[in-house]
Amino acid sequence: MSQIALPLDWPEGSEERDFIVTPANEPIVRHFQHWSLWPVMATMLTGPRKSGRSLLGRIVAAQTGGELIDPGEDADEEAIFHAWNRAQGQRRPLIIVVDAPPPAWDIALPDLRSRMMATPVVAMPEPDEALASMLIEKLCHLRGLAASPELIRYVVPRIERSFLGIHRTMDALDELALQRRQALTVPLARRALITLGVIDESQAGG
């Protein structure tokens, strides 16, 4: 597994080493690594917010000389249309980050709508256990908190396996550690998860 950036509200890295690749998102990364084989030189990239989709789009655009439109729903439709045509002519990838592809993304321009219907869509998945563990470790580092392997092993199986769940958990851990002016420990994590309502007292054992 290699590092990629964090899909949360903390400073994101802009280089490939800041992104985290695990079996959960490896197929998405592999799709972009083989961009030169795409029959349509564009991809819509969707998935949960905070999932690192924007960072991945920036990495791919920087490495390939391609173009990134993020978020696609807020961009000018004519500009997207011309970017799509330009990508085909130059044989450089266009990455469009969207919350959802058409028809959920309501496109008014008919020529753009037809092009988007012909454009592949890949979706960032929710994190697997490995990605969740690495994200928690990275977020703790960014916040100046030391997370022991024991603490991560305690937290990961008990929280919602989603980027939002990881975000909420880190906020709670950070706030409680600050309130109590102590380092992160398993007992402190236990208390934070109980406070969040993630676990109850009967589930709090190690």
Residues 96 and 136 in one domain: no
For the four alpha carbons of 130, 134, 136 and 137, in that order, the dihedral sign comes to positive
Q: Are 67 and 158 in contact (CB under 8 A)?
A: no
Across the range 173-194, mean pLDDT stands at: 91
Closest CA to 24 of 102, 150, 134: 134
19 found inside a domain: no
Is residue 12 over pLDDT 50? Answer: no
Arithmetic mean of pLDDT over the chain: 87
Structure tokens at 198: 């993630």
Q: What phi and psi, each to the nearest 5 degrees, are found at residue 108? A: -80, -35
Residues 94 and 155 in one domain: no
Is residue 11 over pLDDT 60? Answer: no
Residues 43 and 110 in one domain: yes
Amino acid at 109: L
Is residue 174 over pLDDT 50? Answer: yes
4 found inside a domain: no
Distance CA 157, CA 128 (A): 11
pLDDT computed for residue 197 by the predictor: 87
Distance CA 97, CA 47 (A): 9
Is residue 9 over pLDDT 50? Answer: no
Structure tokens at 183: 């380092």
Q: Which domain holds residue 37?
A: 25-123
Least confident of 73-82, 124-133, 141-150: 141-150
pLDDT computed for residue 143 by the predictor: 86
Is residue 52 over pLDDT 80? Answer: yes
Query: pTM of the prediction?
Result: 0.80
Task: Count how many domains the chain has.
Answer: 2
Closest CA to 10 of 185, 175, 172, 138: 138
Residue % of the chain over a pLDDT of 90: 67
Is residue 119 over pLDDT 70? Answer: yes
Beta bridge partners of 43: 95
CATH number of the domain that 135 lies in?
Answer: 1.10.8.60
